[in-house]
Chains A and B, each alone.
Chain A
Amino acid sequence: MKILVCISSVPDTTSKINFTDGDTKFDTSGVQFVINPNDEFGLTRAMWFKEKQGAAVHIATVGEAGVEPTMRKALAIGADEGIRVNAVPTDGYFVAGQLAEIVKKGEYDLVIGGRESIDYNGGMVPGILASMLGMNFVNTCIGLEIEGDKATAIREIDGGKETVKADLPLVIGGQKGLVEESDLKIPNMRGIMMARKKALNVVDPVDATQATEDVSFDKPAPKGQVKMVESVDELVDLLHNEAKVI
């Protein structure tokens, strides 16, 4: 089985978010970049398939050279080789267009993306990619088993979960649940050393549609002071008469 894990390089979850250039760009200064958490669950699941059932695991990222440390971390976790599309990931449509080219060329059986990235939160790349290629797609995937060319996936739905069956080739939008957080792999020294020797191929972008453009950004209005209350009577009164939520 040949698996492609799509990796997004995102600001660490604790990063402060600021904007520059007249609030038109995300301010990356001082920001630590990491593997998108939803992608990390998918990467670990891919490593599980590699270890238990035998699979070649490649990773792909659309980004300029600055994303390579994040990709090296994914290689240190155990992915076999990486492909970087040398382009600024302008929107989900454009990224899906780039990845579609890689999937077509690489003839992957399984493509794992995250449910969404924790920066732009578009949540569309795996679905658009699958549709572009005519591949089956399961979103918000919290469980995945594969036997031969048949997949059984569990996806999270509002208020519960759903089990679905689909043939490979398959694209999933994965998240926590694909593996437990305690099972996430941390690169060890041997992995880090080996990752240095693994192929990280850089390819030029293909022509692809950019369907949307983030014109400007702003931040939520500063929060007012918390109102500390002494009793539940006072709280219920405030929720009813002031906040008007009950």
Chain B
Amino acid sequence: MSILVYTESENGKFKKNALEVASYAKAVADQMAASVTAISFNASENESLGTYGVSKVLNVSNDTLKTFNAEAYAKAIAEAAEKEGAKVVVVSSSANSKFLAPILAAKLKAGYVPNVVEAPDSTEPFKVKRTAFSNKGFAHTAIKTDIKIVGVSTNAFGLKEDQTDASVADFSPELKEDDFSVESVEVDKVAGKVSIADAEIVVSGGRGLKGPENWEMIEELADVLGAATACSKPVSDMGWRPHAEHVGQTGKPVAANLYLAIGISGAIQHLAGVSASKTKVVINNDPEAPFFKAADYGIVGDAFEVVPKLTEKLKEFKAENE
């Protein structure tokens, strides 16, 4: 029996979440006395997955799958799951994984649980802990179907090395024209920028920054930290920053290791979106800002004074520690 993990890649290179879901799949496999098979799409360096406990990689080399297509990817993963007799399929919580997982669930007649934060509570019954109520609670959810699909929250499980020899085999799923009936016309991504979903550190700005012209200092701080930039809802509503940067209940969820909130007072909807982050730092000139109650570290001060100082200090810190 195997645990199948879908490992995402970009331009042939595995994304960090691929290694995290491989680590998670290995933990499940250990609990179930099974092995881990990965499915990758047009990836190079497939053997490197062995570092995270993967013993077999099915690599799909297919030019029609160079651009993500939820239906076609789900079909290929379903075929791999059936071929391998996989009882559990592990995916990430990226936008693409959350797009394909429900399709995959229907194809495999499998129960799907997203936002999972820990290795299974138990495997018989198969029960996992996940966030619910926009991070205001956790649910312990049992999956009752024969095949189970688990979506792992970003940065929740982490990377766990478990060196294994990974064999690599070509895999050619049977795809038809119909599988491409949703056709990608254009992908518009900011090259070289860390996305909120992938980021370990997120630097986020709010209304306290007074205008879009002041975002340069947020970007500079993010650059030093290798972080993604984000913003509060009013900021995206006013068009200072794109909606894609809006974090919160109706924006993007952030599960970073470090979340820096600058000039954000901390509305309940914003806090719900960021509460899965491990360490939260708040910089605000209002000592009564509700965000301080949810933060780990706080500085009361003017962002226009504190942020440039912090950036300089971090530059020095990096120079000393690299």
Contacts and interface: CB of A to CB of B under 8 A. Distances in A.
B143 interface: yes
Contact of A232 (B105, B113, B134, B313): B313
B231 interface: no
Contact of B244 (A160, A211, A212): A160
B293 A226 contact: yes
Given A216-B140, A246-B317, A157 B297 contact: no
Nearest to B228: A159
B317 A217 contact: no
Nearest to A176: B250
A246 B105 contact: no
Nearest to B282: A226
Interface in A61-107: 91-93, 96
B248 to A, nearest CB: 9
B246 interface: yes
B114 A163 contact: no
Interface in A165-201: 165-167, 175-177, 180-182
B87 interface: no
A11 B272 CA distance: 13
Nearest to A223: B294
Interface stretch (A1-9, A43-51, A52-60, A135-143): A135-143
A211 B105 contact: yes
Contacts, number: 255
A158 interface: yes
Interface stretch (B31-39, B40-48, B191-199, B209-217): B191-199
B297 A239 contact: yes
Interface in B100-120: 101-103, 105-107, 109-115
A211 to B, nearest CB: 3
Interface stretch (B57-65, B160-168, B178-186): B178-186
Given A119-B133, A212-B113, A217-B139, A137 B70 contact: yes
B128 to A, nearest CB: 9
Contacts of B237: 180-182
Interface string A115-135: 000111111111110111000
Interface string B239-264: 00001101001110000011000000
A211 B110 contact: yes
Contacts of B314: 236, 246
Given A157-B189, A163-B185, A166-B183, A119 B132 contact: yes
